[in-house]
Amino acid sequence: MKLVPSVAYLRIQRQFYVGYSMALAGWIGEHLVIRKALPKPSFVDRALKKLGFSLVGEDIGDDEYSYFFKRKDIGISAFFEPSNDLLFLQVYPLKKRLSSGVSVRAQYIEFYDQFVVSIEPAQKLPPGIRSLGINPLILEDYYPVSTPYWGMVHEDWENDLKILVMRDEIFEELERNEYRCPICFSELSVEDNYLKCHTCGFLYTAESEFENVISKFSLGIGEEEIIF
């Protein structure tokens, strides 16, 4: 099962770097699908504030922008290169080697005419783990032709609702085996047709139950949810 390699890696790495990367990669992917463009710095700034990070520095060039964020002992750098349709984020420890971090790369690949959002380790993986087990999100004409094991991420920016939408079989495996929260590794509580993390606030549901979960919170699904 694709969940297993990343969970093993999370336990070794104390999980934070991959967890934050999952949320960020998911939000970037949702923005690409809805807005048909990579997010602007204001989007990343707001997304990171939702995860508890604060802006601590920036470096603005003619066609390159770098921003630096911090939360406790974790740092995140965001690099924008609009002319090449590139957004590159690094999640790393502030008190350890940078090589133990994780990168999120979102880029337009002209040769294939695709947008790709990938999560990559910044170091050699531990023995016995060949990969993070996370497939990249690949968009053709802004339609997903490849998704990570969890599916997609939905965010309601006005109501602070964070939903990670999993493929049905992956959600059933998560629920059945009582895995911890993939974002912050806390315990998950079982609700009606979704799992909830009371630590980071993420909800987990299956694709087949997504609309039912949304209706419980009286929220619609549409472009108006991303307002910047």
Q: Which residues contact 222 (CB under 8 A, 6 or more apart)?
A: none
Average pLDDT over residues 170-193: 78
Name which residue leads in pLDDT, 79 or 103.
79
Domains in the chain, number: 1
Q: What is the dihedral of CA 132, 37, 204, 155, to 10 degrees?
A: 140
pTM > 0.75: yes or no: no
pLDDT band at 224 (very low <50, low <70, confident <90, very high): very low
Which residue range(s) make up the domain with 118? Answer: 3-225
Asked if 226 and 158 count as a contact pair (C-beta separation under 8 A), the reply is: no
Q: What is the pLDDT of residues 31-54, one digit of tens each?
A: 998 899 999 999 999 889 888 899
Name which residue leads in pLDDT, 65 or 132.
65
What phi and psi, each to the nearest 5 degrees, are found at residue 109? Answer: -100, 105
